[in-house]
Amino acid sequence: MHKPLEKRLLPFIACQGAMSTLIGFGSVLVFAQLGMAGSVAYTALMLTVAMGGIVLPLILGRFLTLRPARLIQLAFACPALLLWFADGRPWVLALATGGFLGISWGARHRLELSLLQDAQRDSYATHVTVLTVFSSLLATLAVAGMLTWLDEAPVAIYASYALLALPGVFWAGRQVPETPAMGLQSPWKVVRHKAFLACLPLYFLESGLLGMAMVLGASGAVSSLGHASRYGWVASAATVVGAIALLALRRHRHDGNRIGWMGAAGSVLAVGQGMLGASVWWPGFYILHLLLLAAVQPFWLASEQVLNQRVMDLQGSLADRIAIREVVLWLFRLGGLGLFWWLLQDWPPQRTLMLGAALMALTTILEWALGRSWLRQVPAR
């Protein structure tokens, strides 16, 4: 009897969850060192590299056989090699983080979209999210402890994550199943489908404010907590809340109640974003923001994962669908980030944080409302 996909991907998901916590620490460090302008430039470069990490292997797939296991090794090799040179060089940090995110998620998209049926997605998403939360908790605790011990030296973060990436290089891809070779065939045919055009509003709501959210999250952490190690300790405590909640309820969601789960998670998430805006009056609201997000975001991310896989049930080759989707998301992310910077760069940081938090709360509610109609549809394949 074959193992469920989540068990075969266990080493990969655990390592990916641990390494993904670099996003938060890296963003906080860059904002603390370079301010809003530097943080915007860093985020734009990181998102661009991440998109390239997903799309470039699909372009090369027409000429090379790129196995998922090899892509996973390459993903972890990026931070393992580059982070040693990232101190004082945010562009190197962007290459390391973006390369890891793009290549690892490209491999993961290939596996999940090739091997999962629609009815399996809710159980799978819940199990892998539990694993991701626990592995990210352990990584956050370890790095926060290292920062405290070494008196907030940024090099401690980079060295910690470079070492943390090494098990991923040698271990994460060992049990990964094979999938058919993938390469681009006719990506523009996907763009011309009416079903794909119908996805665009949802893609905008999901990703249009992602870059802005990363910058504002780092801004709130720096203004409310001051030090990266304090962010690490608070994020660790908050993650425990989410881990306990998700573990307790992991068996209660399925394809019949996915809409209700997403609605409940989205409502609490919107309140949490409001707490981020309120932190301009009292820094303690930022801690409440982290607690609420940690408690409910795993449920929201599991729902988004199911929704994204559902939205990808379109005509066209899987490689074409993945590539076009990532390019569109990248355009929305950079467009939203650029518009945010152009309109608000002269605003006081407090007003920027308040408006950004309100926009993120509104976007969450709208995404749930639009996603609900997608989840009600019968899968096309």
Predicted local distance difference test score (pLDDT) of residue 250: 58
What's the domain range around 108?
9-172+187-376
Q: DSSP for 312-376, please give it.
A: T--SS-HHHHHHHHHHHHHHHHHHHHHHHHHHHTTS-HHHHHHHHHHHHHHHHHHHHHHHHHHHH
147-151, 182-186, 306-310, 362-366: least confident range:
147-151
C-alpha of 142 from chain center: 20
C-alpha of 279 from chain center: 23
175-189, 210-224, 317-331, 332-346: least confident range:
210-224
Residue 90: give its domain's CATH number: 1.20.1250.20
Q: pLDDT digit string (tens) for 253-284?
A: 655 667 777 888 888 888 888 887 887 788 77
Does residue 257 belong to any structural domain of this protein?
yes
Between CA 218 and CA 240 the distance in angstroms is 21
Long-range pairs of 305-308 with CB within 8 A, sequence gap ≥ 24: 305/121, 305/125, 305/129, 306/121, 306/122, 306/125, 306/258, 306/375, 307/202, 307/262, 307/371, 307/374, 307/375, 308/206
The residue among 313, 270, 311 whose CA lies nearest residue 292 is: 270
Does residue 2 belong to any structural domain of this protein?
no
Predicted local distance difference test score (pLDDT) of residue 381: 46
Does residue 106 belong to any structural domain of this protein?
yes
Q: What is the DSSP letter of 100?
A: H
- Angle (CA) 226-229-234 rounded to 5° is 85
- Which two tokens mark 93? 């940090």
Contact between 20 and 101 (Cβ < 8 Å): yes
Predicted local distance difference test score (pLDDT) of residue 50: 96
36-40, 189-193, 266-270: least confident range:
189-193
Contact between 80 and 162 (Cβ < 8 Å): yes
Does residue 48 belong to any structural domain of this protein?
yes
Does residue 330 belong to any structural domain of this protein?
yes
Tell me which H or E stretch contains 80: helix 68-82
Kindly tell me if the per-residue pLDDT of 290 is higher than 90: no
What is the average per-residue pLDDT within 47-61?
93
Kindly tell me if the per-residue pLDDT of 148 is higher than 60: yes
Does residue 182 belong to any structural domain of this protein?
no
**Structure confidence at residue 15 as a pLDDT band (50, 70, 90):** very high
What mean pLDDT value characterizes the chain?
Answer: 81
**Structure confidence at residue 249 as a pLDDT band (50, 70, 90):** low
Which residues 6+ apart lie within 8 Å of 311 measured at CB?
199, 202, 374
The residue among 143, 165, 150, 149 whose CA lies nearest residue 99 is: 165
- Residue 337 has φ and ψ, to the nearest 5°, of -65, -45
The residue among 56, 51, 99 whose CA lies nearest residue 75 is: 99
Predicted local distance difference test score (pLDDT) of residue 92: 96
Greater pLDDT, 23 or 378: 23
What is the average per-residue pLDDT within 35-42?
86
Residue in the structure block whose two tokens are 């090899």: 70
Predicted local distance difference test score (pLDDT) of residue 239: 67
Does residue 42 belong to any structural domain of this protein?
yes
Does residue 28 belong to any structural domain of this protein?
yes
What is the average per-residue pLDDT within 75-81?
96
Total number of domains in the chain: 1
Q: pLDDT digit string (tens) for 82-96?
A: 999 998 899 999 999
